[in-house]
Amino acid sequence: DAGVIQSPRHEVTEMGQEVTLRCKPISGHNSLFWYRQTMMRGLELLIYFNNNVPIDDSGMPEDRFSAKMPNASFSTLKIQPSEPRDSAVYFCASSLAGTQYFGPGTRLLVL
């Protein structure tokens, strides 16, 4: 089992650019979560899906952020336009029976 796969692992971009983060959950898992981690705010839940349907997106900071899960094996988190305050580590996690398994994270730096 490859675990949760995230890409890219590192992303450096300039303010105003579009950023797309990708996640492949563990096969068979029916829940997927996107988190953001910063020193200031710690670990924040942005959005989560059950069976590909968004359940709670109240953690999405603003309209610049959007997430999709077109099928059970793929999800994206998009930031458009990006801002320096979006710099953080973004984690994707998936679960089936409660326990969440995290991907390695994407370290995003917006200049």
Partner 1 sequence: AQTVTQSQPEMSVQEAETVTLSCTYDTSESNYYLFWYKQPPSRQMILVIRQEAYKQQNATENRFSVNFQKAAKSFSLKISDSQLGDTAMYFCAFMKPNTGNQFYFGTGTSLTVIP
Contact with partner 1 (CB under 8 A): which of 67, 95, 108, 110? Answer: 95
For the bound state, the minimum distance from the C-beta of residue 83 to partner 1, rounded and expressed in Å, comes to 22
Q: Closer CB to partner 1, residue 9 or residue 15?
A: 9
Q: Closer CB to partner 1, residue 42 or residue 70?
A: 42
Establish if 52 lies at the interface with partner 1 (CB under 8 A).
Answer: no
If you write DSSP's letter for every residue of 7-71 in order, what string do you get? E-SEEEE-TT--EEEEEEPPTT--EEEEEEEETTTEEEEEEEEETTEEEE-TT--STTEEEEEEE
For the bound state, the minimum distance from the C-beta of residue 107 to partner 1, rounded and expressed in Å, comes to 8
Establish if 40 lies at the interface with partner 1 (CB under 8 A).
Answer: no
State residue 86 phi and psi, 5-degree precision: -85, -5
Establish if 43 lies at the interface with partner 1 (CB under 8 A).
Answer: yes
Residues 46 and 67: their CA atoms lie apart, in Å, by: 9
